[in-house]
Structure 1
């Protein structure tokens, strides 16, 4: 068993593992998956789709690379949603409902015409007067 280091990076960031751990290749693979899963499951605004775990030995030779997309699964490959987006979903729904109610309220103030107030619901007073006049004759 040799010392293995687990560095994480994307195009703009690098997280270095300065301590490392002594383990074989199978254990290193499991630990890399656990490490990637722990970063993905931590609530943050980071988009983890472009990140990867780079597993190196003690002299810096890369043993293997594990992309975070392998951990994220099929759902996140086509249309990824990080944990922050998932946490914000209910808030977005409530905000959309609030905006719809505000728009309806503003529409009611700006456009006060309500046709149900102007439609006749039955014979009016002039119609009754004509009928009564016709009955008297």
Structure 2
């Protein structure tokens, strides 16, 4: 008696591939084998693909926080060493911060933080234009 081939043993153990009703044998068998080969790949790739949107959100959040930090230090500098002659320079600094904020591509989930940053920049700009540089640090330090 001849030894049974591994393919024949597999056929006797599992029967016909399920896809055999819809596809030719060789295609059904190929898909069946690839399913078990690619399943571990998808088990690893799926969580990675899901984490990409949150990664993008964290990057944008980091950039927004960096601009917030610059704004905070700018306000502290105004409290310590405000010079009315440098008002155009101060306004240009704020305009640069706003330009950097506007250059960001912000996902919808971070849009509230984005608009809060823009309104904070606008608040500082309006306080400078009114000549109220003293209120900047007191309100933000609370």
**TM-score w.r.t. length of structure 1:** 0.36
Greater length-normalized contact order (CA 8 Å, ≥ 6 residues apart): 2
- Greater share of residues in strand: 1
- Greater share of residues in helix: 2
Q: Which has the larger radius of gyration?
A: 1
